[in-house]
Structure 1
């Protein structure tokens, strides 16, 4: 193998190493196109792929690949990257849903704005929760968990291996993740929602005995004040819960190892 063929071999191996990382970043809101432009995100993915390149390049059968088999490898790599990123994105989706539930209860869903992480419309409290989780993700070691899972996946599912065998338990597992998203959102929003419901119930009793009092205009500011007060008291517990859920991401990657071999 001359120098040109060796360089071509390395470039092809490096190219096949990138789709898994790029697909994972595509699913994660913290690496969305709104946060990292395409060129910057590709540069970050390429720099991370350099660390796994020595493992992938060993005995890589690039010369034996045809066009069809090469496309199959690329599709398989994107699929695995989406699986890894799905578990991380599910946590951000549940946090955003919790904020939307709170804003829906206090009647401020009309004040929706653009989420800078996803580029979609969401509620103000949803943006606050997602931004908080974004900070905890980087400070609390969530990025290290994701990178560890990515690098381990190259050993469990090598780039040039056949498509991982899918177990039938994968379908109920991913349906369980959707159930977990809703359950986590309701669980985190429940204390604030219950407090605002009690405040609204008290306003209903007041309007019963004082009909001349315009409760409709008082409901939103009072519920907002009660919700923010409970949220301030609840913030420490909520941040700790965020951190615990980030640490549990490793269980998702372990489960993927059992479902896709």
Structure 2
């Protein structure tokens, strides 16, 4: 029969494994690749369980002991959710920027005209999805999935299970990342937006010269043509901006996690 010492050790391992599972699953549900709706929740949970077991075996002895009180464990679970979510949110920032840029282009070109008539219409952002798929391929080509695993394993040493606090530096880092996302989105969308702006000004001048022309109908057709042409011409620029942004966001993601440790 198992003695009380063995039972306490097993229960401690189980608690450590559960907390690690919460951190990993939060990353998978919010971070890049696995947060996409095409990935089934059972796949995310299954991978989280496998990784949690591996990480418990590798780092279980390095983690401090815990108070087994229900309220203490509930607080630790909530903390692990925040750590995993912060890491996943920071790593997913570049994809937010890409989708935001795609949404701007879709609306300006006219692919989301339905939203003008029905604000609740569930219209997918076509260019946003295209750019998101390209960004995902760049992410995988840069071994971003390897970085996700490395960051998750490294986070256990950077922020042990009992050492967590929402620090001022962590909040300022997240705010700075949000600002950076907006700047990157504007960089990605600016060539097409600028081209469409010039086209709109030209058509406005044309309507003054030849008011008999139906400029409104022509503008909708020209927007699609000009927008798509400039979009495909500027794909190399999009690749460069996205690749550089991903490189910087990988270091920023880990900086956010490091800032969650009040002892650093």
Give TM-score scaled by structure 1 length: 0.86
Give the match for residue 239 of structure 1: 239
Query: What whole-Å deviation, never above 9, does each CA across 1:38-61 have from its counterpart, x for those lacking one?
Result: 211111112222332223321556
Q: Do the aligned partners of 2:173 and 2:256 also contact (CA within 8 Å) in 1?
A: no
Query: What whole-Å deviation, never above 9, does each CA across 1:138-167 have from its counterpart, x for those lacking one?
Result: 2322222222111100111122x23x2443
Matches within 5 A, 1:1-261: 2=2, 5=7, 9-28=12-31, 30-32=33-35, 34-58=37-61, 60=63, 64-110=67-113, 121-159=123-161, 161-162=162-163, 164-261=164-261
| Alpha-carbon distance in structure 1 between the residues aligned to 2:194 and 2:81 | 42
Q: Alpha-carbon deviation of 1:8?
A: 5.0
| Alpha-carbon distance in structure 2 between the residues aligned to 1:55 and 1:167 | 28
RMSD after superposition: 2.4
In the superposition, relative to structure 1, how do residues 183 and 158 fare at CA in structure 2: closer, same or farther (>3 Å)? Answer: same
Residue aligned with 1:169, SS: helix
In the superposition, relative to structure 1, how do residues 202 and 127 fare at CA in structure 2: closer, same or farther (>3 Å)? Answer: same
| Alpha-carbon distance in structure 2 between the residues aligned to 1:135 and 1:105 | 26
Give the match for residue 115 of structure 1: none
Ranges in structure 1 where 5+ consecutive residues have no aligned partner: 113-119
Q: Do the aligned partners of 1:56 and 1:158 also contact (CA within 8 Å) in 2?
A: no
Q: Do the aligned partners of 1:19 and 1:77 also contact (CA within 8 Å) in 2?
A: yes
Q: Do the aligned partners of 2:90 and 2:256 also contact (CA within 8 Å) in 1?
A: no
| Alpha-carbon distance in structure 2 between the residues aligned to 1:99 and 1:206 | 29
Q: Do the aligned partners of 1:94 and 1:182 also contact (CA within 8 Å) in 2?
A: yes
Q: Do the aligned partners of 1:133 and 1:242 also contact (CA within 8 Å) in 2?
A: yes
Give TM-score scaled by structure 2 length: 0.85
Q: Alpha-carbon deviation of 1:64?
A: 4.8
| Alpha-carbon distance in structure 1 between the residues aligned to 2:208 and 2:82 | 58
